[in-house]
Each structure stands twice: as structure tokens, then as C-alpha cells.
Structure 1
């Protein structure tokens, strides 16, 4: 098992790192799960839909094919493998590495494009200030925001470790960027959450 994995790493490089991460996500293999940050439970379905990327990823792993998972649109969102079940598999093309494929996806709630890098309407930052953290965080994930790029400040000015996000229960008092701003794939979202309810002066 270890020799086979080492061969895949030499052959496919970063693409296989994705495959290993998905193996942990889909099979809950304890050997690799430590390499992936624990996924928050907020807004995560308990069963996988047949057109979800993890189902397709599992199929590629069985075929011993390397792969990457990408936003099928021109928004350039980074597909969050910890919450890949919130995305819909749409397109496939030959990858850059030998015996590899690129899988194109969009969040559920969006229509699949008929070609790669399809132009879609500008995505606006939703208004989540005043909402419970659970609803706010879930709404961001469902719109295609990556959990690694959501910075959470829980009752303090110190950013919370991602592995501790699941314990956050409170009201979102402030968000950056502000609601209505155009989506920027290079910009992190910052959520300032009260331990309980916000107390505005």
C-alpha cells in the first residue's frame, strides 16, 4: 500500500496529494485523516449526492487516475475538499500530468456550464452580519467560499484555528468584506463572532 502510494506521488506530484485527501474524506481512513484539517460540521449533509465531486473522485481513485478539482466557471474559486459535497460535478478534461484528469464543479444552486471557464454573473459578498455563526458559515460554504479562506474571530481579536471552528456558537457582529462587494478569489473573508449576541454601542 505504501509503495503504491509513493509511486503515485512521484508520478503525479500535487495532483496525488488531492487524491490522498479525498481518500481520507470518502473512506475516513485514519492513516491519512490526520493530514487534513478536521472539517466543521456546520451545514454538511450526511449523505453524498450521485453528482457530488467526492463520488467522482472515488471513481477516479479506483481507476488509479490522478486528478484535480477546479471551479468550472471563470470565478476562480478554490474547491474546498473538506466540503466538496456542497459542490456539483459538471465537466472533465485531460489533466496536465500523465494519466490525470481535471474535474470541473460548481456549488449546488448554480447551473453547470457547458464549457470550461464559462463566464458567470459577478458574485457578491452576502450579508451575514447579525446572523448566527452556523447559518452565516454555512451560507458562505454553499456559495463556494473555501473554509481555509474564512478567518473567524470568536470573542476576541485573535484568529481562531480552523480546527476549532466547530465549537463556535454566537452571532456574527461584523464581516469583511462588507455585503455587496464583488467576490475576489484572493481575498479572505473575516467573521467577528460574539460569544452569544452582539452588543452594539
Structure 2
């Protein structure tokens, strides 16, 4: 008799959980949560507006991809949503690339972009391309090798990338940690 009571309780809880899950999905399909306001303007304009109002701001990916949004490349993005932080006198902006469509809600699904090909590109430009693709700068590592293949100090920004991992075309993931190798032997310096 006791086993039947436990099974009945689990069935009721399972049904309640399923209803809650459906309600959450319906709410997500409706759009952003009430404290998040939909906007559609160039990210650099949104940042300037916040600064003109004496507010700080943070930049976040509006999608589920978790891409890094660099203020240095704000002109390449648009703000889709904003969330005011009145206690901090700040705004969170949720953005996508200008060429992308804003998701219906923060954290909406979007297919991942591809890792750019940076082989043969100078280190400065390669790092820029990876950051623009959504990789956080502190996730990108660089090995600098002299003509004999020994590690050297410095970044040698004009040297060309001889090896990259992940390879070009790999689907973006915020968990990836790109590694670039620049060598004197393939840079011609």
C-alpha cells in the first residue's frame, strides 16, 4: 500500500513539473522577461547613450552562444535588449552582430558561426578576427617561436600565424580556447 502512495505522489509531482516546464516554455516564447526591454539600435550608439547619462554598461551576447562582445568592435554589433541596473547606475546590453537577427528573447538559439581562418595573417589581425568571432581575449593563447623553433619572449605582432587551433571552420563554442603559433620561420621577418 505504501509503494502505491509513493508512485501516486511521484506521478502528481511529475505532472506538476511538466506543467511548470510547459509554462516556462510558453513564457520564453512570449519574449523577454519584464525587466528586460527590447531595443534595436547600433551597439556603439547604445553605449554612448549610457555614457552620456552617466551610467556604466556591460556587453553580453543576446544568444545562447555565450560569445564575447568587445567594446572595441561595438560598431560591428547591435543591441537587441537592455536591462537597467538602477542600484548600480548601469545598463546590461545584450547584442548580436549587425548582420544577425535579434533573438525573440535573451539567450535565444542561434546557429554558431565558424572559427575564422587566420593562418598567414599577422598576429594583431588574427587576434582581432578571433575576438570579433566571439572568443574572449583571455581565452586566446599565443606561442612565439624563433627560427630554430624555440619559444621567444614578446608578442611579435607583425609575425604571421603559422598554426591555429581550433582549425578554420570549426563551429564556435565559448568553451574553445584558441591557440595560435607565430614563428620567425614562416613570417619572413
Query: What's the TM-score bracket when you normalise by the shorter of the two chains?
Result: 0.5 to 0.7
The match for 1:182 among 171, 180, 183 is 171
Q: Name the residue aligned to 2:45.
A: 55
Question: Alignment RMSD, CA only?
Answer: 3.1
Structure 2 unaligned segments of length 5 or more: list them: 1-40
Per-residue CA deviation, residues 142-164 of structure 1 (Å, 9 max, x unaligned), is 32223332222233565876xx5
C-alpha separation in 2, matches of 1:98 and 1:133: 37
Give SS of 2:170's match: coil
- Give matches, 1:1-201, under 5 Å: 51-95=41-85, 97=87, 99-155=89-145, 158=151, 167-195=156-184, 197=186
Q: Which has the larger radius of gyration?
A: 2
Query: Displaced runs of 4+ in structure 1, greater than 6 A?
Result: none
Q: What TM-score do you get using the length of structure 1 for normalisation? A: 0.57
Instruction: Tell me: CA distance 1:159–1:97, structure 2 relative to 1, closer, same or farther (3 Å).
Output: farther
SS at match of 2:186: coil
Structure 2 Cα separation of the partners of residues 72 and 79 of structure 1: 10
Match in the other structure for 1:19: none
CA distance in 2, matches of 1:189, 1:160: 19
| Compared CA separation, residues 98 and 135, structure 1 to 2 (3 A) | closer
TM-score (norm 2): 0.60
Query: Residue 168 and residue 85 in structure 1: after superposition, are their counterparts in 2 closer, same or farther (change >3 A)?
Result: same
C-alpha spacing 1:99/1:130, structure 2 compared with 1 (3 Å): closer
The answer on whether the counterparts of 1:152 and 1:159 sit within 8 Å (CA) in structure 2 is no
Structure 1 unaligned blocks of 5 or more: 1-50
Q: Compute the displacement of 1:79 (Å).
A: 1.8
Which one has the bigger strand percentage?
2
The question of whether the paired residues in 2 share the 8 Å contact of 1:87 and 1:107 is answered with: yes
Separation (CA, whole Å) in 1 of partners of 2:183 and 2:102: 37
Q: In 2, distance between residues paired with 1:159 and 1:123? A: 33
Number of residues paired by the alignment?
145
